[in-house]
Amino acid sequence: MKNKRTFLAIDLGASGGKAVAGIFDGNNLSIEEVNRFPNIPAEINNHLHWDVLRIHNDILDSIKKTVDKFGNSFTSVGIDTWGVDFGLLDSEGYLLGNPFHYRDSYTNGIIEKTTQQVSKEKIFELTGAHFEPFNTVFQIMAMKEHRISYLDSAKYLLMMPNLFTYFLTGEITCEFTIATTTQLFDPVKRTWSKELINILQIPDILPEIHQPGTTIGKTLKTISNYIDKELNVVLPASHDTGSAVAAVPIFENENSMFISSGTWCISGVEVEEAVMDKKLLKYNFTNEGCLGGNYRLLKNVSGLWFVQKCLEVWKEEDPTLDYSKLTQMATEAEPLKNFIDPNDLRFLNPPDMPNEIIAYCKETNQPVPETKGEILRCALQGIALRMKWVVEKLEELTNKKIEAIRIVGGGVRNELFCKLIADATNRNVYAGPVEATSLGNILAQMIAAGEIKNVFEGREIIRKSFEIREYTPSVDERWSILYEKFLKVMADI
């Protein structure tokens, strides 16, 4: 029997930070949650920022707990977060200012301003990326616009997961998958887009790009002293979706759509080369990098954010409510009466989500949901209809039929959500694993340690180690009627 090896994934999501240990015995992979900590943005002067130092301490604490529990078998750590956000370092390596959180309003109106300088078509041609106001390129342009002076003193821009890696190792890097979320990366040349950087006069602060699945360094001496171990630090797909998709148990020649379901439902397919068709611009799809060098052709759809925001409001009157109870209520509510469009910008950060859903139904002349269950069902049906639309667009863009849908992430726990997607898209849904992001992060570390050769080997291990649940679609004519109406009122994003 082979010695067990332990790999620690630190995953910083919107609903919190998680430290998950992956234990590999040479055959099977199991996971154990070592730590959980909040990842709440800090508000200063009406701006939202990352709570950087607190998270750094929580990361150290998580590593220390793993050393205490797993001792010598503890092989390496890797960090992933959502995309686009970054910190700036000066020439001495000091962090400048407080990194902005992507939901901050400082980027309001910046796409419009920037595209007066250079057209959307040109930016797309150079980056193959979708347009979101929070993309790194627009955050930098917003810093210029608001004259945030420390931008001028910056020597390096470090994407958030790579900033936390820098705090552990002192190594300055930008990992490939997170680089592809900046909208400054040329996916055809597979390097920074010098042309766009020149046009927009972005300072020369982007570090060299490294591939995921590589060891970037060892913990700094002070950190090794604190954790009682000199530890290897690995670059996973440091974009959380990149890690999640690495752990979707897709067979090598299977043509299925993945949904990485958390706060967002990020849906797409893996392709070998970036798709640069101008239709992507029209539908606002993007190309993001994968562990192993492929691209993910995908669409961002707002996801379980709706459930999170409704729970936040309702918990004020009933603190005993939780996700399971809400799912139960939505399951019992009358089906197929109404929907929202999850990507309508009004839902980005409304003060009262349940009321916003009700208002949307009124304004689109639909039956108004009244109970908590009805409100949630309405939101989930909207997400399912958007998924049907994404399936159609992916088939059009790739010229291939999507045979099935694979869901990973927190949404796997919501059976109604999985079933609605099967029904709306009329496709079989395979749901699991829930902890795909941490698992994908762990697979990259297993590649770096020489335990597996590539992502396909990793997916095979996931298939035999974790439960995958199948949902088959039920036919109901009312879906077509709702979808027709959805197409008429859906937002153009």
Ligand X SMILES: Nc1ncnc2c1ncn2[C@@H]1O[C@H](COP(=O)(O)OP(=O)(O)OP(=O)(O)O)[C@@H](O)[C@H]1O
Residues of this chain that interact with Mg ion (CB under 5 A) are 13, 240, 262, 437
Applying CB under 6 A, the span of 213-221, 404-412, 456-464, 470-478 interacting with ligand X comes to 404-412
Which of 219, 243, 414, 438: binder of ligand X (CB under 6 A)? Answer: 414
Window 251-290: residues binding ligand X (CB under 6 A)? 262-264
Give me the least distance between CB of 18 and Mg ion, in Å please: 8
Cis-peptide, bond into residue 433, ω within 30° of zero: yes
Q: Which of 13/22 has CB closer to Mg ion?
A: 13
**Residue 82 interacts with, from ligand X, Mg ion, none (CB under 5-8 Å by kind):** ligand X
**Residue 324 interacts with, from Mg ion, ligand X, none (CB under 5-8 Å by kind):** ligand X
Q: What is the 3-state secondary structure (H, E, C) of 289-324?
A: ECCCCCEEEEEEEECCHHHHHHHHHHHCCCCCCCHH
**Residue 14 interacts with, from ligand X, Mg ion, none (CB under 5-8 Å by kind):** ligand X
Assess 371 for contact with ligand X (CB under 6 A).
Answer: no
Give me the least distance between CB of 80 and ligand X, in Å please: 9
- Using a 10 angstrom Cβ sphere, with 0-12 exposed, 13-18 middle and 19 or more buried, the burial of residue 299 is buried
| Site string (48-67) toward ligand X, x via CB under 6 A | --------------------
CA distance 442 to 77: 8
Q: Which of 81/193 has CB closer to ligand X?
A: 81
Window 213-252: residues binding ligand X (CB under 6 A)? 240
Tell me what percent of the chain is helix, strand and coil, each rounded to the nearest 5: 40, 20, 35
Give me the least distance between CB of 281 and ligand X, in Å please: 24
Q: Which of 321/402 has CB closer to ligand X?
A: 321
Assess 410 for contact with ligand X (CB under 6 A).
Answer: yes
Give me the least distance between CB of 311 and ligand X, in Å please: 8
Cβ 414 vs Cβ 327: under 8 Å: yes
C-beta atoms surrounding 331 within 10 Å: 17
Give me the least distance between CB of 165 and ligand X, in Å please: 18
Catalytic choice (85, 104, 240, 344): 240
Assess 324 for contact with ligand X (CB under 6 A).
Answer: yes
Cβ 391 vs Cβ 427: under 8 Å: yes
Cβ 374 vs Cβ 383: under 8 Å: no
Beta strands in 391-443 (DSSP E): 404-408, 428-431
Q: What radius of gyration do the chain's Cα atoms show?
A: 22
Q: Which of 87/410 has CB closer to ligand X?
A: 410
344: annotated active-site residue: no
**Residue 115 DSSP label:** H
Q: Which of 10/123 has CB closer to Mg ion?
A: 10
HSE-CB for 325 with a 13 A CA cutoff: 10
Three-class SS state of 75: strand
Applying CB under 6 A, the span of 7-15, 57-65, 96-104, 347-355 interacting with ligand X comes to 7-15
Window 289-318: residues binding ligand X (CB under 6 A)? 304, 307-308
Q: Which of 13/87 has CB closer to ligand X?
A: 13
Which of 5, 9, 13, 235: binder of ligand X (CB under 6 A)? Answer: 13
At a CB cut-off of 8 Å and minimum separation 6, what does 259 contact?
265, 266, 267, 387, 405, 406, 407, 408, 409, 411, 421
Assess 15 for contact with ligand X (CB under 6 A).
Answer: yes
Cβ 310 vs Cβ 376: under 8 Å: yes
C-beta atoms surrounding 317 within 10 Å: 7
Which of 82, 102, 124, 339: binder of ligand X (CB under 6 A)? Answer: 82
Q: Which of 273/332 has CB closer to ligand X?
A: 332
CA distance 400 to 403: 9
E strand or H helix that includes residue 353: helix 353-363
Applying CB under 6 A, the span of 164-172, 191-199, 319-327, 460-468 interacting with ligand X comes to 319-327
Question: Total binding residues for ligand X by CB under 6 A?
Answer: 19
User: What are the helix (H) ranges across 240-278?
Assistant: 240-246
User: Which single residue brings its beta carbon nearest to ligand X?
Assistant: 410
First to last CA, the chain: 53
**Residue 360 interacts with, from ligand X, Mg ion, none (CB under 5-8 Å by kind):** none
Give me the least distance between CB of 33 and ligand X, in Å please: 11
Q: By the criterion CB under 6 A, which residues form the site for ligand X? A: 13-15, 82, 240, 262-264, 304, 307-308, 323-324, 327, 409-411, 413-414
Which residues are designated catalytic?
Answer: 240
